[in-house]
Amino acid sequence: MKLSAIVFILVFSLNSFAQNIPAYKVFTGEGKKADYEDILKAAKKTDVIFFGELHDNPIVHWLELELTKSLFAAKGRSLILAAEMFETDNQLLIDEYFAGLIKETSFESEVRLWKNYRTDYKPLLNFAKQNELKFVASNIPRRYASVVSGGGFEALQKVSAEGLKYIAPLPVEYDPELACYKDMLSMGSEIGGKMDKKISDNLPKAQAIKDATMAKSITYYWSPGQVVIHFNGSYHSDRHMGIIWYLNKYNPTIKVVTIASVLQDDIEKMDDEYKGTADFIIAIPTSMTRTYK
């Protein structure tokens, strides 16, 4: 047998094998099978898409970029990108970088970048810059989230008027019975003696001030006719809680579509525990490689 024929057979076999190992599957919130086109179709008809990610998952980050490209092809410059990974007091740096006022090296040295920025979030930022799209730094500066985790919402009263510009308006409404915060409180209690009770009680409040600030950032930059795709950890938007709970407080007319990312040993069927997590659930094999550890 000729070498070329052997190579052809080998490549064909490998391709066939790879096709039987899907990298992800899409389901509706009810657990019915869906696909990428279903997500895109829904995203085109809404105001805000919350892409709930697993921060260290390469499949999720690839899909985020692909969905951004698809939405841009449909919506053009009415598309806005926003992300938990960038903090509100860094908005000026993003704007100056996009305007060509400061160099990339200056931007990256001054912005508080996540450790997986270059592989996972830089492609999104670059896409927005190249296509002249607004990129919103939506999250609260981490120093103020730390203030809340240490002293509760009342500790924010010490923040200057200048600093308060980067935070959701005070006083922040807070529902400790909301499942996403109640679960965090339970987690803090389980830690027991390893964590001061006052700090553990404030953990969900620190999460809430993040959610409130991200919701406020979205409402500030969004206007009718525009579409925002917001990238955040799934827990910030799962079950239409977190950011969306606050978004409904600030502007209940905004329509949303939510996406959640989950890991499963078997992705042919969505696990029952994830039903209702989001409008669309992306199931990814637990064996998938990670972008960082």
Residue 224's H or E segment, with its range, is none
Q: What is the pLDDT of residues 131-168, one digit of tens each?
A: 999 999 999 999 999 999 999 999 999 999 999 999 99
Per DSSP, the residues of 64-101 read HHHHHHHHHHHHGGGEEEEEEEEEGGGHHHHHHHHTTS
The alpha carbon dihedral of 87, 91, 93, 97 has a sign of positive
pLDDT of residue 9: 47
Q: Are 205 and 174 in contact, with CB atoms under 8 Å apart?
A: yes
Q: Is 266 a residue whose pLDDT tops 70? A: yes
Q: What is the pLDDT of residues 75-121, one digit of tens each?
A: 999 999 999 999 999 999 999 999 999 999 999 999 999 999 999 99
CATH of residue 251: 3.40.50.11550
Confidence band, pLDDT 50/70/90 cuts, at residue 194:
low
Q: Is residue 3 part of a domain?
A: no
Residues in the chain: 293
Q: Is residue 183 part of a domain?
A: no
Q: Is residue 2 part of a domain?
A: no
Q: Are 54 and 261 in contact, with CB atoms under 8 Å apart?
A: yes
Q: Is residue 208 part of a domain?
A: no
Q: Is residue 112 part of a domain?
A: yes
Q: Is residue 160 part of a domain?
A: no
Q: Is residue 47 part of a domain?
A: yes
77: three-class secondary structure by DSSP = helix
Q: CB within 8 A of 151, min separation 6: which ones?
A: 202
Q: Is residue 16 part of a domain?
A: no
Q: Domain count of the chain?
A: 1
The alpha carbon dihedral of 213, 218, 223, 224 has a sign of negative
What is the domain extent for residue 105? 24-139+213-285
d(CA 65, CA 60): 9
Helices (H) and strands (E) counted in the chain, each on its own, are 11, 8
d(CA 152, CA 237): 22
Confidence band, pLDDT 50/70/90 cuts, at residue 293:
confident
Strand locations in 43-98, DSSP E?
48-53, 79-87
Compute the chain's Rg from CA coordinates. 21
Q: What is the pLDDT of residues 30-72, one digit of tens each?
A: 999 999 999 999 999 999 999 999 999 999 999 999 999 999 9
